Amino acid sequence: MKRAAFLLILAVCAWALCACVTNGQIQHYNAGVAAYEANDLVSAKHEFLQAGGYGNSRSYLSAIAEYESIYLSAVESFDAGDYDEARRVFASIPEYGNSSEFVAYIDRIAELYAEGEAAFEEEDYVTARDRFYRASGYEDASDKVSQIDRFEDNYRIAMGFYSEGNYLESLEAFRKIGVSYRDTDEKIASILELFRSFGIKPAELLTIFAENCAAEEPPITLASSSIGDGAFTAYASNGLMIVGNSDDAGYITSVSFWIEPSLRKALGDDGMDRMLGLCIVSMAPGGDDIDTVLGKLGSFLDGSLDSGVFGITYSRDRSGASVLTGTRR
């Protein structure tokens, strides 16, 4: 009698347990397994959640949760701009969500960046900008776009000076670009040829002189200047006097730099050489820099080297002043 009652209790419990699992749960579970095996983990998760713990749904959900965690870490790397790391992680779970699409996208922008670099090296800046712009966010692509945009900004400034006939400012602006952007090389060459053919105007000479002297220690500035029709004068803050003449087109025909005995004494031998070098540099836009001129100073002073279009003479007048003169050839 007791045994019969026990068996009845077991049967009731088994029936109760079976009654707790619905056909819907079984169907969801089976659908989840099918989706999981088909690598559709998003659908699989949805189905296993609906299975209500039937079978080993929880084990499947735990495995899917690991995929989710890996996926989210890849998304974080992607959003942070660490594309190499993002690609590595996405590639490790190609079956999850749109991981494969992320991998393809990263590969494409990496390809665009490489094309941009190649175009930049070939000085094809239009193509380079397009590729870097399309790869925006990848490595320093955005910085490259800004760099090329600065080329264009400086080019427009240089062309503005060029169209106004302000060739010295134009030359400096073209050189500031720093690369062969558009026709910068041709423009620079044409300006230098102009300087070699016609020389420079008083304002240009004084600008070059002032810019070079401003870098000296202590700085030397132009205290005053006057440019009239056919003649010009200027005085530097250290007492140097600059006088010259120009033709009807405004180009200098001759210029003299007067260094009084008191200034020569204050400068000393090395300072005097450097002062003469600065004067020579100011006569030749785009020519030798001060250090190069100083290395050849003796040849300039003995008249065997020209500075731009100017032949050089160096002498002292009766008062003892040293006079460096450039005469257009």
Long-range CB pairs of 40-46, under 8 A, 24+ apart, other chains included: 41/67, 41/95, 41/96, 41/97, 42/97
- Looking at residue 4, what is its pLDDT? 43
The candidate with the shortest Cα–Cα distance to 285, out of 195, 169, 221, is 195
Q: Average pLDDT, stretch 253-282? A: 96
Q: Is the model's pLDDT at 11 over the cut of 50?
A: no
- Looking at residue 174, what is its pLDDT? 94
Contact 163, 170 (CB under 8 A): no
Pairing mode, if any, of strands 241-246 and 231-236? antiparallel
Residue 112 pLDDT class (50, 70, 90 cuts): very high
Q: Average pLDDT, stretch 62-84? A: 90
Q: Is the model's pLDDT at 8 over the cut of 60?
A: no
- Looking at residue 43, what is its pLDDT? 87
Residue 20 pLDDT class (50, 70, 90 cuts): low
Q: What is the DSSP letter of 228?
A: -
Q: What is the DSSP letter of 315?
A: E
With pLDDT > 90 as the criterion, what percentage of the chain qualifies?
A: 70
Question: How does the average pLDDT of the chain come out, rounded?
Answer: 90
How far apart CA 194 and CA 201 sit, in angstroms, is 12
The predicted-structure confidence for 124-175, as pLDDT tens digits, reads as follows: 999 999 999 999 989 999 999 999 999 999 999 999 999 998 998 999 899 9
Q: Is the model's pLDDT at 287 over the cut of 70?
A: yes
- With 0.75 as the threshold, say if the pTM is over it: no
How far apart CA 60 and CA 138 sit, in angstroms, is 36
Q: Is the CA virtual torsion 53, 56, 57, 58 positive or negative?
A: positive
The predicted-structure confidence for 207-226, as pLDDT tens digits, reads as follows: 999 999 999 989 999 999 99
How far apart CA 150 and CA 31 sit, in angstroms, is 58
Rg (CA), the chain: 40
Residue 250 pLDDT class (50, 70, 90 cuts): very high
How far apart CA 138 and CA 72 sit, in angstroms, is 20
Q: Average pLDDT, stretch 25-31? A: 90
Q: Is the model's pLDDT at 18 over the cut of 60?
A: no
- Looking at residue 83, what is its pLDDT? 92
With pLDDT > 70 as the criterion, what percentage of the chain qualifies?
A: 94
